Amino acid sequence: MVLEHWGSSGFANTDLDLQLKKHGIHQLIVTGLIAHTCVEATVRYAFELGYEVTMVRDATADYSDVEMHAALDVNIPNYAAVVTTTEIVDSIASLWPKKH
C-alpha cells in the first residue's frame, strides 16, 4: 500500500518509488487531474527516478485548454510519451496472444 502524499507529485513524501521497485515495475502509465500541477509533477519526478513514462492525453484534465496545452503539448513531452487511450489500449492488447 502506498502512503498518502501531501505535495504535488505522487512520489514526494511517499513510498511509491519503493513499492514500484519492490515489484519490478519500471514503466508507468499516468492519467489524472490536474495536468499542469499534480500530473506534471508526478511525470517529472518519475522520469528523474528513471521510469519510462507514458502520459494518456484524453484521460487527463485541467482547468482550461490553455493549461492543458502547456502541460500536454509543451512540458510533459520532455519527460514522457503522450498518447491517447486508444493507443495505450492497443499497445497493451498487443502484448497478449490473440485467441483463435
pLDDT tens column, 30-74: 999 999 999 999 999 999 999 999 999 999 999 999 999 999 999
- Kindly report the pTM of this predicted structure: 0.87
Print burial letters for 27-37: b (CB count within 10 Å at least 16), e (below 16): ebbbbeebbbe
Give the per-residue pLDDT at 71: 97
C-alpha cell at 77: 513531452
Give the per-residue pLDDT at 5: 59
Q: How far apart are CA 100 and CA 93, in angstroms?
A: 15
Q: How far apart are CA 96 and CA 50, in angstroms?
A: 26
Residue 3 has pLDDT above 70, yes or no: no
Average pLDDT of the chain?
A: 92
